[in-house]
Chains A and B, each alone.
Chain A
Amino acid sequence: MIDVVDLAKSYGEGERITRAIANVSFSVEAGEFVCVVGPSGCGKTTLLRCMSGLLRPSSGQVLLGGRAIDGPPEQVGFVFQEYSRSLLPWMSVRDNITLPLRHKRMAKAERTRLVEEAVGSVGLTGFIDHFPWELSGGMQQRVAIARALAYQPEILLMDEPFASVDAQTRADLEDLVLQVRTEYGITVVFVTHDIDEAAYLGDRVVVLTSAPTEVQEVLKVDLPSPRDQVETKELPEFAHLRAHIFRAIKRRQA
């Protein structure tokens, strides 16, 4: 579905060049949930931005269904870490979610249905006519997720979406993402610096090295579905997996 091929990205020129990503290749199958994890400052966000078409890689390419992307494709939805700056404060929840649908050809009733369905899926039906700043941080990120869902993407890219919410909200949002992923049948690429989160959510985990970044390891996650915040995290396999990822990251840093 989506292939990252020999992707490299550097900033600046000449002697002051910074190589953020040295060479990264991996593939994501349709319907898969892939988590990308790595030490802080390892260019995870840069990688995701290249995958979304927001950034142009210095070399290599990102293929979507076999075709190289050049700018943000219609099939991709994006959830930013900074939810409060990604939602438009002058628009209600409904208008924020409707905005990306305006240029899509569809009947008005269909658009309304998509928006209301997405708001329902993230559990915010009663707040559809509120403004984002009237909601808590966790609820704002739910709105951003609903916006991405209503856009009907084939692939959802999420850039450390829960890095700035408290632990309880974070667990709720993780389960919400798993649930809507099944509900909408979409492919998800989820960037995080949290090893537990990566192991809990992913079907596979791509472990990155620190900058200049390469792929350290790709791990298959063999945890039973559906996942459960208590039971899944109690399993010895879960403990092994997170220990494995942890060591992989530590080993390269040392």
Chain B
Amino acid sequence: MGLRLGRWGIAGFSMVAFVSTFVQTTGFYQIAGHTPAERAALGASMSALAAQFVALFPPPIRPDTVGGYVEFRAFHSLAIIFAVWALASATGFARGDEERGIVEAALASGTSRGALTASRTIAFAIAAGVASAVAAAGFVAGVASGHETVAAGGVVEAGALLAALTVSCYALSLLVAQLAAARAATAAASALLLGLFLVNSLSRVFASLSTWRWASPFRYYELSQPLPPGGNFDPRSFLVLIGISILAAAAAGWAFTRRDLGEPLVHVPPLPYRSSHDAARTPVWRIAVVRSLYVSRLGLLAWSVGMAVMAAVFVSLTRTIVQVLLSIPTLLPYLSIFVHQRLYPAVLGYTWFNVAQLMLAAFAITYVARWSAEDTDGRLEIFLSTPQSRAGIVVERMAVLAAGAVLIAGSRWCSPASDRCWRRGTHEPRSGCWAASPSPATSTQSSPRSTSCRCGCRTCRRSSFSAPRC
């Protein structure tokens, strides 16, 4: 049943995986050149790029080879995408299917809760295995198109690692969803996975976090990079991922047997309650767009806080990244291609704008998914029964999405921590020096140059690329 219910997810993510690895592999042959010198130059460029993303992805091994390049460009990104898939599937089973009555029907058929949890976890493991195998197949097909060969063992290991990480994320999300209330399950599981990801990735920058990275499945994923020549596969890390999956799934199954359907395992004491026969009096319900924003206020708040935290993290990392870049003399000519004025704002703009674009794209995707759910849950039908035209509803939805994106993008300005980090990380004395956080409308037009500071203060002049020894 799990495979049947998740068939579109399997098809969709397999397609994304295949396209991602195939495009990156064939792209490598397009840009890498054919001589060792050309490939070494590409490798150096990729290393420079990786240095800017060190807070997200581990440094690549041999990016001058197709294996190292695709490991860095495709498989590391797929690990994040598959983690999101695992999160959505786990909370969908634990809470979504429960609300739709699918879980109740399955339990009524004589299936035990433990067996149901096990069957859905195994089904997802099969799905993750299929999608990972398709990712590996995309890589092999791309390599074949370049008339090269790669070691089959490395490809299999890369696919197996990706599947193991995905299943471990699924099991952890499943466990959290059993503990939290239905409305908070997705947020709680998201917070856990994001926290585990950041603990590992930020430990590359903040040494104090390295004490805790053992708790993150992403750590065990990164300990192996089997695709590039000279890469490695750590069987113990792979077994740890399998162990996390089994233990978390077993704990989730146990928690499921201990709680009531529709209720969390951990109960919060009820607040004082007063019944009412009146409609809500808040005037926001009467204002188009505002009412839809109000309905999703908790989600918007979570996105805004997440964006502000990410902004603070990136600003605080900028100084470290720039120092790393400036310590490599061979990178200076490469950097001069992209950066003509101040380096700190340029690097910050480049890294943060890229990540913020991804986050806002994810926000847009979740919003569109919400519209789809409105259709299947019958809300759209009841909205259409009011005197609203279909076009009006579409326009209102677009306005809600744009307003939500602006609110989230603007959340950076509400973050004092981010502002302090900005001053500390970039030597910039004025928060207004930094160009506004990106919104979907502005981010596509932004470039590192557009983020340059115009105040002309002493510290800005000192931090300009033309005087790199700041």
Is B one of A's binding partners? no
The interface of chain A, by Cβ under 8 A from chain B, is none
